[in-house]
Each structure stands twice: as structure tokens, then as C-alpha cells.
A and B are shown apart, each in its own frame.
Chain A
């Protein structure tokens, strides 16, 4: 059993015009075997939350705590967090010229496990994981995210999720930019991973569409850098019907 606990998290981003506070007191918990959805309007700080949890250097935590099974996450470097069992599927994965997908995945798995995977089982595992996500085997020899379509980038993120098997997975708008078929394939990938590993999932999304395929236990509404309401799956339905208007009004 694993538990990610976020308590009263405040964070700022440094821009040309100074520091501005984006996260204004976020508290939430994600446990093994559960799925929490975070839903909120554009610009509300969802990606910032994801980046802060992963340790992106652009953001500064000004107060609050994050622990994974009691360990202080904020004191860890980016790679230590990953090795501790945190994974972030990014909204906008970056290109890494000259580094092939297979080399990248192997290097990552070697770092995560502390030893290089056996070549034969590794090749087989990778092939299987790719075919589960309906990815062409030739994909492995392409450079990381270079020239990938939006859908290919998201499949590649979920491919990593399946191979890296984190304890807690944060998925930042993995659904955006996917057509219905791709959305199904990717969602099945997430569900397969969770069934296999019993990991905790924090699903960040702007739309309710993906919740047809990935069923959340808890839905948090995220507005202006904090959670303004928490409920069950039915909360997502009311958001679908009414949008985020009522929360914005409440804020004003």
C-alpha cells in the first residue's frame, strides 16, 4: 500500500514580471488502488500541481508538505522522486533529438531498477507493451517525441507508465488531443496498468470524456490554485452539465 499526501501546498512560478503564486493551499491524498480525478478550467494550476509534485525547477514551493509513504518528496531531486515511485505523464512531452525511444526506455528502466534489464525479456516486454497500445514496432527506433503526433506522444507516455510501474501515477490531460479510438486505447492502457500494479492514479483532466473509460473514486474540482469541492463520480456529471461557472462565481 502506498500513499501520496499533499498538505496545504503553496507554490510560485518565477516570471519576467516577478513571482506569482499559482498553488494556493492544495490538500489531497492518493492511495494505492484508487483513482482521483482533478478537474478544473484552463489556467487554474492543474499542470503546475503536477510539475511541482514531479519537482520541476521552474516552480518554488513556499509552504506545505508532500509525502510518499511518509517520505518527504519535496526534499528529493526529480530523479529521486521517480525512483521513489512517482510518475508524471506530461501534458506536453518534450523532444529529445538523437535519443531513441528504446535507448531512453532502457536507460530509464535501468535507473529505476538499479540494474539493466535482461536483453531478451526486455525486448519481449517492450514489444508486448507497444502492441497493447497499438504502436508500430518501428516506433522504438524513433527519437523521443521527435515528430510524434499528439496521439503518439500520449501513447508513448502511457507506454512508459506500463513499463516503469510507479506506485503513484499523475496523468496530466492524457486525454486531450486524442480521438475516440486513441482515447480508448490509452485508457485501457491506464486501467491495465492499475489492475496489474494496484497503483494510485491522479487523473488531471479538463473534460469529463475520459471518465467514461477510467472510473474515478473521487472527483476534486480545482479552481484558482486550490480544490474548491470534492465529491464522488456524480460531481463530474454536474460539471459536464453546468461547467465551472458556479465555482468562478463563488470565488468572486
Chain B
């Protein structure tokens, strides 16, 4: 059924797994996974520092524990030096636990806060089997952070994990997200990243058992000379699982640079899977650069569907003209077009007030007048 030819996957999966930073070399910038990143601007992230730790207020389902807490995953391993340093350096772990069979209707909102300008972080999300919840992580928009989010989605659980990074200051943040999807469980990861001097987010999805589904959606916005990288890895090792990756980016300013890499690996055993990945970027003016690298590697042709798409385009003056020719003022017309661009990602935010709030943040960032 697939239109994509099968090929032996050159091994994109991480080769070294270790909690010891010394097991990894300091990247030089030529390595495949770092070749787009301005690593000069992140030197401090590759050398252990005495940085603060990121915490949050305790609340139902949310507590702050030490990195040696026995409830934390013992199997999770950093896959690069930067994450190993962050885990070795943090004194706090934000542990979010949803008990098995628990249905939480209200969104659980976690406001992360660093102790200093520079911080390490570790967030662990443990979602019990048959549970259902929506967790909103609001990142500290005043601090530099290097950290990981480790998520374990129990069998037949449903989890929506929304991450909002709205950095107004020229901040640097690096995040490694690892999500393990259980049998027949459904994971929806939503990544909203607005601004930041250097933001690099590396989400990966692993399947623990057959029948799991993972959707990874992202909306990102860059201005000025900001850099953002979203490097996604979906590792299909189990049969009859689903992955759907959709990232939309809007860029303005002169030196803005975004990178989206979507690596999807489908192993020989992963028969009957469905996978799709899409990245679309909207350039609001001349100047920004958007790199978009979808990469689908199939070791089996026995899949239900497999596809990818990627496109980067200028803000379309013809669209503006059409809307304006119907009496719609330019500012409202621009707003309509940008809303329309992000709508399929933002519509997945089921909480209406949160959705509106995010849309307004995006519009504010784009310098658009907001209309009732």
C-alpha cells in the first residue's frame, strides 16, 4: 500500500545510551544531529556547570522530588552529552503522576520556574494504564534551561502533553523529550515554541507494545535572528502502531533560522503501521531561512500507509489581495491567513480559552492588531 520504496535504514537511532556525560564527546558541529545548530552559542551546555534547577509548585498529581527518587524511571538513558549533563546537574525532578484508571477532566497546568538565569531540568510524566489526562507544561520564559521530559504512557492510556515555550527575552533552551507509548495507548504531544535566541527541542517516540498511537504536533514562531530546531525521531519497532507528525512554523525578521528534521524509522517487525509527517513553513518576509528535512526509512513494505510532505513558502500576497478585495482590512486579512495556517495544529488544543490565548500570543508576536 505504501508509495515509498523500502530501504535498509541507516541507523538513525542513538548509538550511545548513558547517564555519564563523559561517555559522549563534545559535539563539534559537523555531526549529523548538530550540523544545523549554532553550537558556538551553546558552548556552556556541553560542559558541566553549577547551574540552578527547574522546579514547579506542588499540586495534585505534581511533586518535586530528588533525582534519586526510587519512583523515577531507571531505564531512561540520555542519548547525548547535553542531556546527560542536564540530568547529572539537576537537583530537582518535577514528577507528574496520573494513577492507573484515573480520568482527569481538568487540564493539569505545570508552571516551570528556574532558580537562576541558567538551569538544568528534568521532568518525568508517568501516566498509569487506562488513565486519561491533559497536561500543560508552561516553560520558564525568563531562564536558560537544558533538560529532558521523559514520558511513560501506560497501556491503553490517553495523554495530551502540551508544552508552551513563549520566550520574550533572548533565551537559550535545549530539551530532549522521550516518550514511551504503551499497548493501545494514545499520545498527543503538542509543542508551541514562540521566540528564544536558541531553542532546540529533540522529541523522540518509542513504542513499548503493539497498537499505540502517537501524534506530535508543533507550532513555532521565529523573529529577528532567532534560531529554533525541532528534531523529531519516531522509532516504529512494534506492529500496528500509528504516528502522525505535523509541524508548522512562521518566520519573520532578517536572520531567523528554523530547522525541522523528521526522522521516521520503520523496523522490519513494525508491520501494519501508519505513519505520516508534515512540515510547513511560512516566511512572512524575505530574509528568514527554514530548513525542512523529512526522512522516512522503511525496513518493511508491509505497512498500511507511510508518507511525508514538506513545504516552505512566502506569505502569499495573492491571498492578502483576495481578502482585502472583499473589504477586509490588511491587518485582519494577515491575521486570518496566519490563523488559517496554524489552525490544524491549534485546533488540537481542546481547551478553548487556552487555544484562544495561544493564538493571541502568536498574533501579538507577529505584531498584529488583535480584533474582537
By a beta-carbon cutoff of 8 Å, the part of chain A in contact with chain B is 54-57, 77-79, 81-83, 87-88, 90, 93-99, 103-104, 107-108, 111-112, 143-144, 160, 164
Contact = CB atoms under 8 A, between A and B. Distances in A.
Contacts of A144: 322
B325 A82 contact: yes
B317 A57 contact: yes
Given A54-B325, A96-B323, A77 B330 contact: yes
A149 to B, nearest CB: 18
Contacts of B327: 79, 82-83, 108, 111-112, 164
A93 B332 CA distance: 19
B216 to A, nearest CB: 19
Interface of B: 316-319, 321-330, 332-333, 336-337, 339-344
Given A96-B340, A111-B329, A77 B324 contact: yes
Taking chain B's interface residues, is the majority helix, strand, or loop, or is none over half, making it mixed? Answer: helix
B319 A94 contact: yes
A111 B328 contact: yes
B341 A107 contact: no
A57 B329 CA distance: 15
Contacts of A103: 336
Nearest to A86: B325
A107 B332 contact: yes
Given A104-B336, A107-B336, A111-B329, A94 B324 contact: no
B340 A98 contact: yes
B322 A93 contact: yes
A99 B328 CA distance: 14
Given A78-B321, A88-B325, A108-B327, A143 B340 contact: yes
B341 A97 contact: yes
Task: Choose among A54, A99, A103, A143 the residue with the greatest number of B CB atoms under 10 Å from its CB.
Answer: A99
Contact of A96 (B324, B325, B336): B336
19 contacts: A55-B325, A78-B324, A79-B325, A79-B326, A79-B330, A79-B333, A81-B325, A82-B326, A82-B328, A93-B322, A96-B319, A96-B322, A98-B341, A98-B344, A108-B323, A108-B326, A108-B328, A143-B340, A164-B326
Contacts of B342: 98
A98 B343 contact: yes
Nearest to A96: B319
A82 B336 CA distance: 18
B341 A94 contact: no
Nearest to B372: A116
B328 A79 contact: yes
A144 B330 CA distance: 17
Nearest to B336: A99
Contacts of A78: 321, 324-325
B316 A94 contact: yes
Contacts of A95: 319
B94 to A, nearest CB: 34
By Cβ-Cβ distance, the 3 closest A-B pairs, closest first, are A98-B340, A82-B327, A78-B324
A94 B328 contact: no
A202 to B, nearest CB: 15
A98 B328 CA distance: 17
Contact of A57 (B319, B321, B322, B337): B321
Given A55-B324, A79-B327, A143-B340, 7 more contacts: A55-B325, A57-B317, A79-B330, A96-B319, A96-B322, A96-B336, A144-B322
B323 A104 contact: yes
Task: Choose among B325, B328, B336 the residue with the greatest number of A CB atoms under 10 Å from its CB.
Answer: B325
Contacts of B344: 98
B339 to A, nearest CB: 7
A144 B340 CA distance: 10
B334 to A, nearest CB: 12
A208 B325 CA distance: 27
A97 B317 CA distance: 14
Contact of A82 (B318, B324, B341, B343): B324
A90 B340 contact: no
A99 B337 CA distance: 7
